[in-house]
Structure 1
Amino acid sequence: MKVAKVQIGKSGLQANPIGLGTNAVGGHNIYPNLNEETGKDLVRAALDNGINLLDTAYIYGPERSEELVGQVIKERGSRDDIVLATKGAHEFKGEEVILNNSPAFLKQSVENSLNRLQTDYIDLFYIHFPDEDTPKAEAVGALKELKDQGKIKSIGVSNFNLEQLKEANKDGYVDVLQSHYNLFHREAEEDLLPYTAEQGISFVPYFPLASGLLAGKYDENTTFDDIRAKDPLFQGEAFKENLRKVDQVREMANAKGVEVPHMVLAWYLTRDSIDVLIPGAKRQEQVVDNLKTLDVKLTSEEVQRIDQIFK
């Protein structure tokens, strides 16, 4: 499938606007009972259907997601067209996990990720979470050295607040910010999105479908036994109210002959500085289905209407 690629901010990377988040590929610490071959099939389905942005992380597994993604890329022979993103910052000290952004740790993290991914460069490497001690410009400076050496192609930070992001971007080296953003969580519109737009930094939202709530597949009788069981979005009256909002989008989607998630994902792509999306998937059909987003052309009235529903 031929898809018009977009540039990710000022990174120079070219990707299908719909990528694949791979925390369900070997992310045994996130989802119980994952089948690894099924996970690899998700990556194969993505690549076979023109999705070339793969988003993984050291902590998915830990380590296992990178290894499985690396195996699939290896079996394809060439990775010229693949935009491979991964993240590091978690350090295991015995049973304890701490966050570490020190230059030495980040450089070692990149080396370790290169080994697990079986490749000699990473297109986009993110500092996964900020630590409390390392000056952020220093942390990003270490990644700039790796970029100059060709080990990484572009620099990302994830979960940074505005102050941390500004410090990280002191020398203009940050290409991408990955942060929590969806129609139910719009705080980023107040500070992060205006700054990324102004700086030419690409903003990649995670949880774009709010753990499935914005995919339109739940009703009032749906119950949850995973992380959603404690999420306020899925509790009591709030859950019912959220479902009513999703139903309003469903009416719009029906009128266009598309589905709720395609409307929602298409809406994000109308936002300044959002170039690409990385919805996750547990089934191959979901991977392919997400691509229908690219066929959705929202009118300015529809964009405003969705904006209003979730104000």
Structure 2
Amino acid sequence: MEYRKLGDTDLELSAITYGAFAIGGTMWGGNEKKDSIEAIHASLDHGISTLDTAPFYGFGLSEELIGEALKGKQRDKVQILNKFGLVWDGSNQGKGEHFFDMEENGKPVSIYKYASKENIIKEVEESLKRLNTDYIDLLQQHWPDSTTPISETMEAMETLIQQGKIRAAAVSNYSLDQLKEATQTFTPASNQVYYSMLNREIEKELVPYTINNKIGIIVYSPMERGLLSGKYFLQEKLKSTDHRNGYFSQFDLEKVKTLLANISPIAEEKNVSLAQLVLRWTTMQKGITVVLAGARNAEQAISNAAAMSFDLDTAELELIQSELDKI
């Protein structure tokens, strides 16, 4: 495994970071607790020292699973990346920006973006209890909240650093303009953003800015929620409650299928899976600090970690680029 410094902080994160969205179950059709715990343990055992979660993932369940999985582990050997700012239980008393509505266990739930100082402090205290820890390594604003000044959010996170409750503060899903505004108050350690072979928009302006300002980039959805693994072209069935049934429809699936077929010889030559090839390619892109990869069980976690066990040479990277240019 390779470990990388995050922005201008003293945090050293594993290049492949465990993404804990799926184990929370929300929007993913559920997951077995035993499998989730084993996935976390397998990640740690194979060099993935960094875990990324959020209160929204399973409405606290993902955090609780991480807290349980880390019992008996050396806390200073693990980096917990957490978030705040998605409120679902009505405790925001109608404040914040309405995001979307969904169902959980057959009941309607409204999700709000809410990043006031008061809410941040509240969420962090709740997260610390669920995670069974007394500090969070990196706290990230999950989504921008148009009803709260960015300066207020940045000031609150800076206060939490001073209190020792978090080691570093960051943002997620910020546009370039929002990131620039944030730095007027406090420079975030990183910006967690959507990036994959099929969506490289951040390369144009965001990545150059973060490089020049020593801000890290944490990437989510590098596998496009499993699409780039290729297995869904083998008629694998998704549960009816799995959000990916609709998510995959945004892509030209025939072009994606052709892309994977044309780069698969590289994977075969290296005796790795398509998923591992895609993950490794993502870690090698300019300005990318770490890449999130979810795993529902130990086998998937071990496979993700192994994505760092090989390299891609210039010719291989150029071949992949030529195929991506056709998308």
Structure 2 length-normalised TM: 0.88
Q: CA deviation at 1:4?
A: 4.2
Matches within 5 A, 1:275-286: 275-286=289-300
Aligned pair 1:155/2:169, yes or no? Answer: yes
- CA contact under 8 A between 1:201 and 1:273: conserved in structure 2? no
TM-score, normalization: structure 1?
0.92
Query: What letter matches 1:198 in structure 2?
Result: N
Tell me, what secondary structure is at the counterpart of 1:19?
A: strand
Aligned partner of 1:143 in structure 2 is: 157
1:105-125 deviation line (CA, Å, top 9, x unaligned): 112111111111111110001
Q: Which moved more, 1:31-40 or 1:177-186?
A: 31-40
Partner of 1:84: helix, strand, or coil?
A: strand
What is residue 25 of structure 2 aligned with on the other side? 28
- The reply on whether 1:227 has 2:250 as its aligned counterpart is no
After the TM superposition, list the runs of 4 or more consecutive aligned residues in structure 1 that deviate by more than 6 angstroms.
Answer: none
Residue pair 2:227, 2:248 contacting (<8 A) in 1 also: no
1:20 is matched by which residue type in structure 2? Y
Measure the CA separation in 1 of the matches of 2:250 and 2:257.
Answer: 9
- 1:300 matches 2:297: no
Letter in 2 for 1:243: K
- C-alpha displacement at 1:190, in angstroms? 1.8
Q: 1:90 maps to what in 2? A: 86
Specify the alignment match of 1:184 in structure 2. 198
Q: Is the 8 A contact 1:19 1:279 kept in 2?
A: yes
- Counterpart position of 2:122: 108
Partners of 2:322 and 2:149 in 1: how far apart? 39
Q: Look up the equivalent residue of 2:139 and give its one-letter code.
A: F
1:8-47 equivalences in 2 (<5 Å): 8-25=6-23, 27-47=24-44
1:229 counterpart letter in structure 2: N
- Structure 1 counterpart of 2:21, which letter? N
Q: 2:76 aligns with which of 76, 80, 98?
A: 80
Task: Report if aligned partners of 1:216, 1:250 keep a CA contact under 8 Å in 2.
Answer: no
Which one of 124, 141, 144 corresponds to residue 127 of structure 1? 141
- Inter-CA distance 33–174: structure 2 relative to 1 (3 Å threshold): closer
Residue by residue over 1:13-64, the C-alpha shift from the partner in whole angstroms, topping out at 9 and shown as x without a partner, is: 1122112111222x13222242112211111111122211001100011011
Higher relative CO (Cα under 8 Å, sequence separation at least 6) belongs to 2
Tell me the matched-pair count: 305
SS of the residue corresponding to residue 8 of structure 2 reads coil
Gaps of 5+ in 2: 92-108
Within-5 A mapping of 1:146-295: 146-219=160-233, 221-222=235-236, 224=238, 225=240, 226-233=242-249, 238-295=252-309
Q: Which of the residues 53, 62, 66 maps onto 1:65?
A: 62
Rounded Cα–Cα distance in structure 2 between residues aligned with 1:21 and 1:229: 20
What are the Cα deviations for residues 129-167 of structure 1, in whole angstroms up to 9, with x where unaligned? 111121212211110111111110111111111111111
Distance in 1 (alpha carbons) for counterparts of 2:258 and 2:15: 28
The one-letter code matched in structure 1 to 2:201 is E
The unaligned stretches of length 5 or more in structure 1 are none
Stretch deviating more after TM superposition (120-129 or 189-198): 189-198
The percent of aligned pairs where both chains have the same amino acid is: 31
Q: Which has the higher strand share?
A: 2
Q: 1:234 and 1:173, CA in 2 relative to 1: closer, same or farther beyond 3 A?
A: closer
Distance 1:82 1:243, change over 3 A: same
**Contact preservation (8 Å) 2:169, 2:188:** yes
- For 1:129, give the aligned amino acid: W
Question: Quick one: which amino acid aligns to residue 293 of structure 1?
Answer: A
Q: In structure 1, what residue type is equivalent to 2:243?
A: I
Counterpart residue type for residue 310 of structure 2: V
Residue 298 of structure 1, CA deviation: 1.0
CA distance in 1, matches of 2:261, 2:8: 37
